[in-house]
Amino acid sequence: MSNSPTPFVSSEVETQSATADFLLELRSEEIPARMQAGARADLEKLFRREMQAAGLAVDDVTVWSTPRRLTLMAKGLPLATEAVHEETKGPRTSAPEQALEGFLRKTRLSKDQLTEREGVWFAIVEKPGRAAADVLAASIPAIIRAFPWPKSQRWGAASLAPDSLRWVRPLSGIVALLGGEVIECEIGGIRSGRTTMGHRFHHSGEIQIDGVDDYAAKLRAAHVIVDHAEREGIVREGARKAAADAALVLVEDEGLVIENAGLTEWPVPLLGRFDEAFLEVPPEVIQLTARVNQKYFICRDSAGKLANAFVCTANIEAHDGGAVIVAGNRKVLAARLSDARFFWEQDRKTPLSAQAEKLARITFHEKLGTVADKVERVAKLARWLVEEGIVTAAPLPVGEGSGEGAPPSQSQSTPTQPSPDRGRALLADQVELAARLCKADLVTEMVGEFPELQGLMGGYYARAEGLPDAVADAIRDHYKPVGQGDDVPTAPVTVAVALADKLDTLGGFFGIPEEPTGSRDPFALRRAALGVLNIVQRNELRLPLESALQAFVQICLDTAYERGHFPARLELDTSRLDEDVVAYRVYQISSLLNYQSKFDQELFVALSAPFERAKSLRVTEIMPLFGSFLPNPIVFPENLLAFLADRLKVQQREAGVRHDLIDAVFALGGEDDLVRLLARVHALQAFVTTEDGTNLLAGYKRAANILKKEGFAASPLPAGEGSGEGYPPSASGEHPHPILPQAGEGYQAEPAEQALVDALDAAEPLAEAAVAAEDFTAAMAALATLRAPIDAFFESVTVNDADPAKRAGRLGLLDRFRAAVHKVADFGRIEG
């Protein structure tokens, strides 16, 4: 029971039909180009919010920007807000005093403000319509004050006061017109009006604006194109045309189009030339120099080669046609390119191996050592990937394989043909070399100037000093894939280095632990994980992730020992690891790295004692032992494998694979081979969409429901595979297998019953063999043979027979059927 009244609100609407167009121009000193798009969106959002709060219906809103103004136009704005009549029903007049008090509190009225009607109290509020001009006069300053610029400043005499107005750069004028009438308002000493200014150099004096209709035209006459999209079009088309007029092809760059349009009120693209001799510098360097430093477009010749031409965008119609501007810009670009050429020449005087030594001076992460430390780990891990046969040399062309079966024929034999072992050793050496040099370009002058060129320059320098192409390519491409749609490496040397680099990053950051949370992923670990997944899938690598993580941990131990951080070499006992211990070790190793400076014998003993015991302890038991050494003993909330599994689900979902099918395979657990796992998912996806698949699923569900109703939980999943939420396996206990009799035990099996038994007898070994052979399509085909028998079984056989023997036998048969299906996938997770 409640004393509070049940209020209802009713509104009576007075229809308003009079409307007018509204124009707002906020003029300022130059707004950074990169902020203009956001500012347009923010202006519209704030305007709509203000109008909505005041009850003014906003229809069509247009927002424009130039470097010096933000303009909003709202057509057909009502001239007044709607009058509102609100009635709230209160308690009866006869109700207890407390009820009335409660109502008064709620409505914030006093008793004499209430109206009595037929023994009931009513709160009646009349809100008259407000003139739109008044609303706007209050809203404009509110919008300006609330504007969320990424960076804002104070300025001028008013900034003597602590709370003076902030804007992206000094605000210099406000035009606010509703139906041609000035909306009077004032903020930070600036009064609104109808006056604006034209182009900085092409126009002098004030411009009087009447309203929405003459605004753009009057500014155009004053050399200001106020619509940013129009200016973008002029830059885009003008740059294209300037190139075409010189018989060249513009390298399109929409980012530059927008930036140049954001830097100009009257854009004029102009083509210039630079000294052809600069073309000896790598084209990427020229493009970056032109783009980043000068905001120029570049051009190609008809053969697709970089041309010695650039397109700059002036903000004036120069009275000499732009000759002086082009000459000036050419000189600036020449100075920039001279610097680039100087770096290019200078950097090549030092071999990458010598550059790599300087990496010991660069911190990778305070807890993960220097870049040189990272390189050491990556080199070892990359070599491990080859030596374990995970990354192999590209398959040799047919007929040239040095297979062990057929002896090489005299004519075809090539004496230098490496044996498989020698091939692997060669690959391992190349991989290690590439890994040891892959970060060396970080200390070159060129990458110092243009960090975006990391990798690429290393590749150029490696080739220039005569390293094998495979090594140079690997250095160039080892950051790949850097984003969606980026090339995924396929060359073996590149694959090994790229994969090792990413695994090291993931292993390291999960170890310290620095895992991504929510939208925070400062070390781009999601991207690294996706890179691992893409490389593994694209190259069908059989990478056992758990072993890889163990190898990584051992490599951390070895590296720490070699660098003198450990007094002894510690070795993992991989036979006794469980996931917690792996996680713990990663954490411990990185902590050791972190403490390396004050590492001493005493600390080592203290740390290594629990290290031995760790083999039988869980993380939660171990961490307290480290309390005195670690600032914040943190238990891993989840481990790296689970993170990779999660990324895989996201990736597959985005690729259009049904999430329930992924779950159906993940639920089998125990699988850390992504290629095998995905093959199974893809085969399953193909199967469940067939008629056989759909019907088999229906049969499975029916069987599972009956078993569930009868209290028979799912039978254990195939041996060695966990039953957990998937992957990685939770410690798999021994589930007791429900003992059920066989069909036909103690009674005469019906024909359909016997047919299902026969079908299972045939399908089970087929499916099992197919799964073992990783031929999941064949495994699905084996399951498909069960479809007709299970349908027929349900058609003609009564499971819930009065005869307990029959009932038990048939339940046993259904359980066997369910178990057979589970060997391929957990159909219980499949929807539909």
Partner 1 sequence: MADTDKPASTPLSVQDMILTLHAYWGARGCLILQPYDMRMGAGTFHPATTLRSLGPQPWNAAYVQPSRRPTDGRYGENPNRLQHYYQYQVIMKPSPADFQALYLGSLFAIGIDPLLHDIRFVEDDWESPTLGAWGLGWEVWCDGMEVSQFTYFQQMGGFDCKPVAGELTYGLERLAMYIQNVDNVYDLRFNNHGVSYGEVFLENERQMSKWNFEVADTETLFEGFRRAEAECRKALEAKVPIAAYEQAIEASHLFNLLQARGVISVQERASYMGRVRDLARGSCEGYMDKYRPEWEAKFPGWTA
Which residues of the shown chain bind partner 1 in the complex (CB under 8 A)? 29-30, 32-34, 67, 151-162, 168-170, 172, 200-202, 263-264, 294, 296, 312, 314-316, 318-320, 324-325, 327-329, 331-333, 335, 361
Q: Which residue, 263 or 375, is less far from partner 1 as judged by CB?
A: 263
Q: Which residue, 13 or 161, is less far from partner 1 as judged by CB?
A: 161
Contact (Cβ atoms closer than 8 angstroms) between residue 503 and residue 643? no
Torsion angle, alpha carbons of 147, 148, 154, 155, to 10? -60
Contact (Cβ atoms closer than 8 angstroms) between residue 433 and residue 493? no
Q: Which residue, 140 or 312, is less far from partner 1 as judged by CB?
A: 312
Contact (Cβ atoms closer than 8 angstroms) between residue 353 and residue 372? no
Task: Give just the sign of the alpha carbon dihedral 370, 376, 379, 384.
Answer: negative
Type of residue at 166: R
Q: What is the DSSP letter of 674?
A: H
Q: Residue 74 class from Cβ within 10 Å (0-12 exposed, 13-18 middle, 19+ buried)?
A: buried
Sole residue written with tokens 């691992």: 532
Instruction: Characterise 70 by phi-psi region: left (phi > 0), alpha (psi -120 to 50), beta (else).
Output: beta
What minimum distance in Å lies between the beta carbon of 175 and partner 1? 17
What does the angle CA 597 – CA 602 – CA 608 come to, to the nearest 5 degrees? 95
| Strand segments (E) across 399-446 | none
What minimum distance in Å lies between the beta carbon of 225 and partner 1? 16
Q: Which residue, 188 or 481, is less far from partner 1 as judged by CB?
A: 188
Please tell me the distance from the alpha carbon of residue 242 to that of residue 322, in angstroms, as a whole number: 13
Of 439, 430, 453, the closest CA to residue 369 belongs to 439
Q: Which residue, 172 or 287, is less far from partner 1 as judged by CB?
A: 172
What minimum distance in Å lies between the beta carbon of 189 and partner 1? 9
What minimum distance in Å lies between the beta carbon of 314 and partner 1? 4
Q: Which residue, 10 or 294, is less far from partner 1 as judged by CB?
A: 294
Q: Which residue, 267 or 513, is less far from partner 1 as judged by CB?
A: 267
Phi/psi for 330 (5° steps) reads -60, -40
3-state SS, residue 722: coil
Phi/psi for 10 (5° steps) reads -125, 145
Tokens of 601: 């014998």
What minimum distance in Å lies between the beta carbon of 294 and partner 1? 5
CA distances from 303 to 275, 310, 585, 775 (A): 19, 17, 56, 48
Sole residue written with tokens 């995905």: 678
Tokens of 792: 């027929």
Please tell me the distance from the alpha carbon of residue 91 to that of residue 98, in angstroms, as a whole number: 10
Q: Which residue, 74 or 314, is less far from partner 1 as judged by CB?
A: 314
Q: Which residue, 145 or 331, is less far from partner 1 as judged by CB?
A: 331
Q: Which residue, 444 or 685, is less far from partner 1 as judged by CB?
A: 444
Please tell me the distance from the alpha carbon of residue 437 to that of residue 471, in angstroms, as a whole number: 9
Taking every pair of Cα atoms in the chain, the longest distance, rounded to a whole number of angstroms, is 116
What minimum distance in Å lies between the beta carbon of 309 and partner 1? 15
CA distances from 87 to 90, 91, 103 (A): 9, 13, 13
Q: Which residue, 319 or 349, is less far from partner 1 as judged by CB?
A: 319
Type of residue at 744: G
What minimum distance in Å lies between the beta carbon of 32 and partner 1? 4
Q: Which residue, 172 or 694, is less far from partner 1 as judged by CB?
A: 172
What minimum distance in Å lies between the beta carbon of 333 and partner 1? 7
Please tell me the distance from the alpha carbon of residue 535 to that of residue 481, in angstroms, as a whole number: 8
Q: Which residue, 3 or 172, is less far from partner 1 as judged by CB?
A: 172
Tokens of 736: 């007791």
Type of residue at 336: R
Phi/psi for 337 (5° steps) reads -70, -30
Of 325, 328, 329, 265, the closest CA to residue 295 belongs to 329
Q: Which residue, 76 or 448, is less far from partner 1 as judged by CB?
A: 448
Q: Residue 719 class from Cβ within 10 Å (0-12 exposed, 13-18 middle, 19+ buried)?
A: exposed
Q: What is the DSSP letter of 402?
A: -
Please tell me the distance from the alpha carbon of residue 223 to that of residue 238, in angstroms, as a whole number: 17
What minimum distance in Å lies between the beta carbon of 358 and partner 1? 10
